[in-house]
Structure 1
Amino acid sequence: MLKKVLSYLIPINIHTVKSDLSKSIEITWANGELVLDSENTNYSYGSLQRILRLGLKTIGFHKIIKMDHILVLGVAGGSVVKTLVDEIKFGGRITGVEIDPEIIKLANRYFKLDEIQQLEIVIDDAFEFVLKTRDKYDLIIIDIFQDTTMPNFLYESYFINRICFLLKSKGFVLFNTMLLNQQHNLRNKKYISDFCTTNYSIKSIPRIEIHNELIVIEKTI
C-alpha cells in the first residue's frame, strides 16, 4: 500500500470522474485513508466524516442506537452511513437520497456502500423526495452541497416545514452548512432565529473545520 503510506506526505489521486451533475469527483488517498472530494471540497470521509460524527455525538450515540429509521439527504460516499453502522452500531433502517448516480457508483466501488444491507439508496432530488415520502424519521441528516454551494431550497420555509413534518416525536435534524462569507453567517443566524421554535429546540455548533457550522434541531413533543 505504497500510495496509502505516501498520502501522509501528499494527497494522491487514484480516480477522477465527471458527471452531468458534478464538475469533478475524485477518489484520493489522504492521510492514510480514502476520501471522496469534489473539485473544491471534501464530500465524504476525511474532514466531513469528523464533522458529522461530532454532530451525531452531540445528539447522543445512546439515543441514535435506539432509533428505527434514519434519513440521509446527500449520501455522497456514505461516510455518515459508515459512522452510523460501524461506530454507533445502529441496526435500524437507513434511507439515503443522492441526486448523482455517478457518486453512488464510486461509493459502491471504493467504499462498499452496497454491502450495507439495512441501507436503501434512492436516486432522487432531495427536495422532490421529501415531498413524496410517506415515512416518518427519527433522525434526518441534511448534507447537501454542489461543490461548495448549498442549494437555496434548503433555507426555504416550505422545505423546512416539510422536514419538521417528517420528524417523529422526539426526533432530530442534523444540518451541515458551509459558511464562506458574512452573507452565509447572516443566512444561518436568520435560519436559527426564524425556526418554528414552539415545539423545537435548535442550536448551532459553529466553525468546525474552519468553514462548517452544524445546526442541530430536536422535536420536543
Structure 2
Amino acid sequence: MFKRFLSYFIPINIYKRNSGISTTLEVTWNNGQLVLDSKRTNYSYGSLQRILRKGLQYIGFERIRAFENILVLGVAGGSVIKTLVNEIQFKGKITGVELDPEVIEIANTYFGLADTPGATIVNDDAFEFVLKTKEKYDLIIIDIFQDTVMPNFLFEEFFINRINFLLNVNGFILFNTMTLSKKDKERNEAYRSCFNKNYSVRMYPKVEDHNELFTIKKLG
C-alpha cells in the first residue's frame, strides 16, 4: 500500500513487458489507481475509463441495465467491463474480444478480470470474431488500438455493415476513436456518413485531448 500512497505524488511502475502486438505494456500505480498503459497512451483505467464511462452515460445507465447481451471489441485491462458490472450493475452477458494474449494475462493478474461475473474473454481478432459469431447484441463497444494506431478495417464498409447486422433494433454502438491529425478527423467524418436514416448517430469530440466518441442507435 506504500506504493499506492506514493503514487499520489509520482507514478510508480510495478510491471513492464514487451508485446509483439501492443508494443510496450506497463502496469503503474497512478493517483492511487492501477492503470495499464502502452508506450504512448493509456490502455485501461485512467483516462480511457473516463472516456468510455462518458460514452456509457450518454447512452444511459438505466437503459444499459435493461440490455441482455453486450460485446466489447478491445478489452485491454477490462476497465469498461468493470464499469458495466460494478458501476452500472449490468447483470447480463458480456463477451470481451482481445487480440493480445499478454494483455489478457495482465488483465487477469493485476485487474481481476477473470473474476468478473457474467464476463467471458475471448482471445481472438475482432474482425474474425464478428464474422464468426452467431449472436446478436444490444450494445457493441469498439475500443481497438495498437498503441495510438487504429486498424483500418474498423472504418471499412464491410466491417461496419457486419457490426450493424449484429446489433439488435434499439441497440447501440459505442465507438472510441483517436484523432491526432486532420486525416483522422476526415476519416471520422467519412465514418459518420456510412449510416443511413435507420440509425441515429451522435459524435462527441474532445472527450479527452484526442478522443472522439460515437454513439450509434439502430432505429429499425
What TM-score, normalized to structure 1? 0.98
Aligned equivalent of 2:154: 154
Q: Does 1:105 find its partner at 2:110?
A: no
1:78-111 C-alpha deviation (Å, 9 max, x unpaired):
0000000000000000000000011011100111
Structure 1, unaligned runs of 5 or more = none
Structure 1 residue 198 displacement after superposition: 2.1
Counterpart residue identity of residue 203, structure 1? R
Matched, 1:31 2:31: yes
Q: Return the letter of the residue paired with 1:213.
A: E
Deviations 1:117-165 (A, max 9, x none): 3111110000010011010000000000000000000000000000000
Question: 1:21 offset after TM fit, Å?
Answer: 1.2
- After superposing the two structures, state which structure 1 stretch, 10-19 or 27-36, moved more: 10-19
Code of the aligned partner of 2:167: L
* Matches of 2:159 and 2:53, distance apart in 1: 24
Give the whole-Å Cα distance in 2 for the aligned partners of 1:200 and 1:23. Answer: 36
Q: CA offset at residue 67 of structure 1?
A: 0.4
Offset at residue 208 of structure 1 (A): 1.4
**In percent, how many aligned pairs have the same letter?**
61
Give 2:117's aligned residue.
Answer: 117
For 1:22 and 1:98, how far apart are their aligned partners in 2? 11
| Number of aligned residues | 220
Q: Once the 2 structures are TM-superposed, how far is the Cα of residue 12 of structure 1 from its aligned partner?
A: 1.1
Note the alpha carbon deviations across 1:148-196, whole angstroms, 9 max, x for none. Answer: 000000000000000000001100000000010111111111111x222
Q: Alpha-carbon deviation of 1:19?
A: 2.0
Structure 1 stretch 171-180 or stretch 6-15: which is displaced more? 6-15
Name the CA distance, whole Å, in 1 between partners of 2:164 and 2:83.
24
Which residue of structure 1 aligns with residue 84 of structure 2? 84
Question: What one-letter code is carried by the residue in structure 2 that aligns with 1:43?
Answer: Y
Partner residue, 2:185? 185
Aligned match of 1:209:
208
Question: Cα RMSD over matched residues?
Answer: 0.7
Distance 1:202 1:6 in 2: 43
What is the alpha-carbon distance in structure 2 between the residues aligned to residue 186 and residue 148 of structure 1?
A: 17
Give 3-state SS (helix, strand or coil) of 1:208's partner: coil
Output the amino acid matched with 1:4.
Answer: R
Deviation beyond 6 Å, 4+ runs, structure 1: none
Q: Is the 8 A contact 2:205 2:211 kept in 1?
A: yes
Q: Provide Cα deviations, 1:48-92, integer angstroms capped at 9, x if missing partner.
A: 000000000000001000000000000000000000000000000
Partner of 1:95: 95
Amino acid in the other structure paired with 2:200: S
- Rounded Cα–Cα distance in structure 1 between residues aligned with 2:179 and 2:2: 36
For the pair 1:58 / 2:42, whether they are aligned, the reply is no
